[in-house]
């Protein structure tokens, strides 16, 4: 199993307690998490430090923004192929309308789209809304 300390080592980041704790929460929850969700899961957290930690993780290719069509910014762990300023998270995100959770659908790739002439793509997002596996039961 992936350990928080391995992830930090791989990306050459110092092992601070907040970094380790944030990664622990991501690994445990296995879903995209917002700033306030993370705060709830952690012991005393300083908002600014948490904000900086998430920013650093995004920069270094550890987490990515899980765009899910809601007003809340959520982040999810990258699959391990992302590098500094070079994300490869080309997958769909699923948002459950019942439990409100967002998760990565790593098995669904965003298709390459042929844009009209003169347009250049910089990013594309695929959001799927519905009922997740757990809520379906």
To the nearest whole angstrom, how small is the minimum distance from the Cβ of residue 43 to Zn ion? 26
Give the long-range contacts of residues 86-93, CB within 8 A, separation 24 or more: 86/61, 87/61, 89/64, 91/126, 92/126, 92/127, 92/128, 93/32, 93/66, 93/67, 93/68, 93/125, 93/126, 93/127, 93/128
> Is residue 96 at the binding interface for Zn ion, with CB under 5 A as the rule?
yes
Sign of CA dihedral 124, 102, 42, 46: positive
> Is residue 87 at the binding interface for Zn ion, with CB under 5 A as the rule?
yes
**Nearer to Zn ion by C-beta: 21 or 57?**
57
> Is residue 73 at the binding interface for Zn ion, with CB under 5 A as the rule?
no
Tell me the per-residue interface mask from 29 to 68 with Zn ion, x by CB under 5 A, - otherwise.
-----------------------------------x-x--
**Nearer to Zn ion by C-beta: 50 or 78?**
78
Which parts of this chain interact with Zn ion (CB under 5 A)?
64, 66, 76, 78, 82, 87, 89, 96, 98-99, 104, 132, 135
């Amino acid at each position: 199993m992936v350990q928080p300390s391995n992830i930090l080592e791989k990306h050459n980041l110092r092992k601070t307690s907040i970094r380790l704790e944030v990664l622990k929460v991501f690994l445990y929850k296995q879903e995209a998490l917002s700033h306030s969700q993370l705060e709830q899961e952690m012991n005393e957290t300083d908002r600014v430090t948490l904000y900086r930690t998430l920013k650093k993780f995004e920069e270094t290719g550890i987490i990515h923004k899980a765009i899910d069509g809601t007003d809340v910014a959520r982040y999810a762990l990258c699959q391990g192929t992302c590098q500094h300023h070079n994300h490869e998270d080309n997958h769909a995100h699923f948002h459950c309308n019942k439990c409100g959770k967002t998760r990565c659908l790593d098995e669904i790739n965003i298709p390459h789209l042929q844009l009209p002439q003169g347009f250049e793509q910089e990013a594309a997002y695929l959001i799927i809304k519905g009922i997740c596996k757990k809520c379906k039961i």
